[in-house]
Structures are given as structure tokens and as C-alpha cells.
Amino acid sequence: MKLSLGFSPCPNDTFIFDALIHHKIDTEGLDFEVFFDDVETLNQKALKAQLDISKLSFHAFAHVAENYALLDAGSALGFGVGPLLICKDEKFLQPGTLNNTSLKVAIPGKLTTANFLLGIAYPELQNKVEMVFSEIEDALIDGTVDVGLIIHENRFTYADKGLHKIVDLGNFWESLTGCAIPLGGIVINRKLSQEVQQKVNRVLKKSVAYAFANPKSGIDFIKEHAQAMDEAVMYKHIELYVNKYSVDLGTEGRKAIDILFEMAQAKGIIPKLTGNLYVNNY
């Protein structure tokens, strides 16, 4: 059985999926047609239910939960992994400067969890410009935007480009909730049978476990899609976003996701969710 599968070319995703798509593990008869896209493109595809299995932001998942269920394996949650709000002009580091509603803010996508957290922390920042996440640093440098919301490996590169951190929204979330921050997860289309959903859950968990046990196994595949990224940055990226929650959400991971959704529903950011969000019940 062949299933369509979408994930990003970022090192954490290629690290996780390498063993699965290259059959380094027993995939239980499953094959995969792979689509590489940035997370916001994947979010938009999920809105149209275009893929059988997809990486997407948890914020986006809340809008597609009627069509997709969340797998226990493959998620990106953690402490110290949140998005950063950064600037070029140091005046934005001064208290109160972000109260200016006219500030132009670069975001990596409307449906990203990063944008959701920005809305909680700084609801007055509404003048937002959507960009591919990798373009935000350059937009700050050339003055196209005033402040920018960065994710992924840009956490490791912004300072070298003369940019400054205003706030770590991951720290903001952790202080507010005491939970790991849920960034993105792997979902599967509900039109597929429960048997197939559970099979995908099993093989993905095996793929993550294989990657942990053989961390250099997928090095060529990871490098190929990381393009010009320095290898040290590449492995920092993996270390930051792939952890115990990537193997299995567990009750702790699910609690963090449930709190995120409860908070978003209370603020009217996402629709009210009903039914079971997950492939398997604990």
C-alpha cells in the first residue's frame, strides 16, 4: 500500500523519516510517496486534505482535526525550543516598544504555532507579513520588516548576522503553563482504516527509534535536504527538536497539546474541538 507523506526538509524531519522512507525498518508492507515542503505549505495542504500523512503545526492541526488524527510518534515538543522574536534595531529591545500596533512583523505562517504564541504574548502586533521562515532574517537585515518571528535552525544563526533577541516565546509558554511547548506533529487522514492508522503509528515509532540508535545512518539524506547548513548546526537542530516526545507523546505530551488547544479555544483563535484527536487512546 502506497501512502502520500509530506514533511519538511529540515534536519529534525529528515532524521525522523529516513529509516521509514528508505526501508531501513520493516514498514509492514507500506510504501510512501514523499513531498518536501516548508511547514506552512504543509499546513495549507492539510486544510485541503491533500496528503495521507503530513507534518504540520499544532495550530494548524486544530483546524483540520475533523479530517486528520494525530500520531503518537514524530512530534516536536520540548523545553527551550520555542520561536524567538528578533530585531535588527536595538530600540525594539526597550520595554514598551512592541506596543506600537503599526510595527511590521514577519511571521513564518498564519497557522504556525509560532504565530499562535505571538498572538497570546503580544496581541497588539497585528501588522503581520507571512514569509518562508528562512527569509525572515534577510527581511530584517534589509529593513523590509521591523521585527521577525524565527523558528527552526534560525535560532542558531540570527546572532551571527547582527540580529538581536527580543523575547523567547518558548520561555513565555513554559512560564505560563509549566509544559513543554508543542510545535508540530504528524497527522494521518481519518479516511484511512484504523488498521492502517495504527500501522503507520507503529512504523513511524520504529523509524524514530532507529534514528536514535543509528544517528549517523541518515547523514547523507539529511545533508542533501539541509543544503548549505553547517553540519554542527544541523545536529544542534536535531538535538533541539527530536526527543522523547518524538518517540511517543505520552500523557505528558498530550497534556501540553490539550492545554494549548484549550487556551486557543478560550481566546477564539481556533474552533471548538470535539471527539478524539489521537490515533490511539491511552
Question: In which residue are the cell numbers 513511524 written?
Answer: 204
The answer to whether the annotation marks 57 as part of a ligand binding site is yes
Tell me which residue of 256, 102, 130, 100 sits closest to 185, measured CA to CA.
256
Query: Which long-range contacts (C-beta less than 8 Å, at least 24 apart) are formed by 259-262?
Result: 259/177, 259/179, 260/58, 260/113, 260/116, 260/182, 261/58, 261/62
Tell me which residue of 40, 6, 23 sits closest to 207, measured CA to CA.
23
Question: In which residue are the cell numbers 503530513 written?
Answer: 54
The 3-state secondary structure of 216-275 reads CCCHHHHHHHHCCCCHHHHHHHHHHHCCHHHHCCHHHHHHHHHHHHHHHHHCCCCCCCCC
The answer to whether the annotation marks 56 as part of a ligand binding site is yes
* Residue 180 DSSP label: P
The answer to whether the annotation marks 232 as part of a ligand binding site is no
The answer to whether the annotation marks 266 as part of a ligand binding site is no
Q: Which of 152, 164, 225, 237 is catalytic?
A: 152
The answer to whether the annotation marks 144 as part of a ligand binding site is no
- Give the list of residues 6+ apart from residue 198 with CB closer than 8 angstroms, or none: 279, 280
Task: Give the DSSP letter string of 70-110.
Answer: E-SSS-EEESS---EEEESSGGGGSTTGGG-TT--EEES-T
Distance CA 115, CA 135 (A): 16
Q: Which three cell numbers stand for residue 247?
A: 518517540
152 is known as an active-site residue = yes
Q: Cite the annotated binding site by residue number.
A: 55-57, 113-114
Q: Cite the annotated binding site for substrate by residue number.
A: 55-57, 113-114
**Residues classed as catalytic:** 152
